[in-house]
Amino acid sequence: MPSVAPFSSRRAFAAMPLAALLLCPLLLIAGNAAADLPTTASRMKRSVVAVGTYMAVRATQKQPRGTGFVVAPNHVVTNAHVVPRKLDEGRRETVAVYRPSAEGRTEMRPAKLVAADREHDLALLRFEGGALPAVSLGRTADIREGQWAAFTGYPLVGALGLYSATHRAVVAALAPIAAPVGSGRELTPEMIKRLSAPFKILQLDATAYPGNSGSPVYDVDTGRVIGVINSVYVKRTRESAIKDPSGISYAIPVDFVRELMSKAGLR
């Protein structure tokens, strides 16, 4: 026999303001997203690395510059602008990925650039050493405005060290890479270039910091990656006419990661 709420509970529920009743489902959804995130973020952290360079004869040998994430055995995706176009080969400078070791030290693994997509500012690296857990990739077609997402990376890695941080966000919009301007005088060469090859990016209501470039953006519930944080590259095009836009970050949709991996022979 179905249970019936006590009369006092039903009377209290009926007396609730309409605004409070409408808010209850939203609070429940937000609560579920918050409850799932710690588990998903803990799993994601195993696949997230810092990306930079290493040089034995340099005063600061290890120089992390951004974030990357494992997409296949010994392969990492990051932003192309995180990987220097030119290395000091005479002094044996190399690309490297970094991660905290079990002993609390920084583990460094040499890496090489396998493929790059400069148009979407993505790079694929292959690193040495044992395999790390790979992430699962989603599809751009499944992304919905208003869905909960998160990104994990190494913000301000040069100042804060190798401590990953997770930020929660909502996918606010799937927006064009180049924003409309009032007149032709406001167009920059970067904006003209993007307008000639338009594509959509993810707009997030969260703040990404230097070092977050290359961080995976993922669905809170499933952990599937839906994008790659890329605020620096996008903002040069999209926000040149906007003064101090706070609390907004951008990400490259995951389908471009799939295309880059496919060109490199990875699934």
The per-residue pLDDT for range 231-254, each reduced to its tens digit, is 665 555 444 444 455 678 999 999
Query: Nearest Cα to 213, choosing from 197, 190, 239, 234?
Result: 234
* 160: in domain: yes
> Token match 């790079």: residue?
123
pLDDT for res 110: 97
Residue type, 83: V
Helix boundaries (H) for 116-241: 157-160, 189-196, 231-238
- Per residue in 111-142, pLDDT (tens digit) is 999 999 999 999 999 999 999 999 999 999 99
* 220: in domain: yes
* 253: in domain: yes
- The residue-averaged pLDDT of 218-236 equals 84
* 146: in domain: yes
* 214: in domain: yes
* 259: in domain: yes
Number of domains in the chain: 1
pTM of structure:
0.79
CA 221-215-109 angle, 5° bins: 120
pLDDT for res 233: 56
Residue numbers of the domain that contains 236: 140-263
* 30: in domain: no
Cα–Cα dist 158/166, whole Å: 17
Cα–Cα dist 222/236, whole Å: 32
pLDDT for res 238: 47
CATH of residue 178's domain is 2.40.10.10
